[in-house]
Structure 1
């Protein structure tokens, strides 16, 4: 084995190790998220790059929206993996405000073509809001 072969072997091993560490770090970080609110609901927007509909799990637990994305790497014929830097299991969570009263069973989740997951959870209506106003004529 020449010094060049040894250098290539060591470099390749280090490169793969860095890739695995990068992938592991990617899986440990929470996905970026925005929490928006309007009069009738909360909208929680997660970055979910490379996710497919069947790869996503959404749960609502004690005021927190939690997601898990299990992605898969496509096989590319004729190519060998050199740097596995993308995490395959990604998690994210967003806690709604303490005073949020929502109906999680009526929530919806939509995966967009731009790689975001939009989770909309309607606010529960108070009994006062459910009552209709009646105008009183003089």
Structure 2
């Protein structure tokens, strides 16, 4: 084995270890999120690159929107994994303002072609909220929009 071969072997090993470490850091860090508000609803926007509809779970619990993403790496024929730097199990959380009164049963989510997950949660009249059953399960509709078609999936939100 030549000195050049040793260098390549060490370099390759270090490169893979850095990729694995980067992937683990990404899996332990919360996904970036924006919370927007208008007169009728809150819009929670997560960065979710490389995600398919079936990869996403959304929950609403005590004023928090939580997402869990389990994505997969595509196999690329003829290529070998050199740097596994993208985390596969990702999560994120967004806390709505303390005074937010929302209707999670009417929430919808849309997964865009660009890799953002937009969760819209309508505001609720505080008088109606007192009458609502807070222990029911909510279903969140998720749409994935592409140029040619629109897919719709249902995601359960646990209250």
Deviation at 1:127, TM superposition (A): 3.8
Give me the whole-angstrom Cα distance separating, in 1, the residues matched to 2:127 and 2:17: 58
Deviation at 1:73, TM superposition (A): 0.6
Partner in structure 2 of residue 71 of structure 1: 71
Closer, same or farther in 2 for the Cα pair 1:51/1:24, shift >3 Å?
same
Q: Decide which structure has the larger Cα Rg and report it.
A: 1
Give me the whole-angstrom Cα distance separating, in 2, the residues matched to 1:80 and 1:126: 56
Partner in structure 2 of residue 19 of structure 1: 19
Provide structure 2 residue ranges, at least 5 long, that are not aligned to the other structure: 129-159
Partner in structure 2 of residue 95 of structure 1: 95
Give me the whole-angstrom Cα distance separating, in 1, the residues matched to 2:98 and 2:76: 47
Q: How many residues align?
A: 128
CA RMSD across the alignment: 1.2
Partner in structure 1 of residue 106 of structure 2: 106
Deviation at 1:125, TM superposition (A): 1.5
The 5-angstrom pairing of residues 54-69 of structure 1 reads 54-69=54-69
Deviation at 1:126, TM superposition (A): 3.6
| Higher relative strand content | 2
Which is bigger in relative contact order (C-alpha 8 A, separation at least 6)? 1
Provide structure 1 residue ranges, at least 5 long, that are not aligned to the other structure: 129-138
Deviation at 1:28, TM superposition (A): 1.1
Q: TM-score, normalised by structure 1?
A: 0.89
Q: TM-score, normalised by structure 2?
A: 0.78
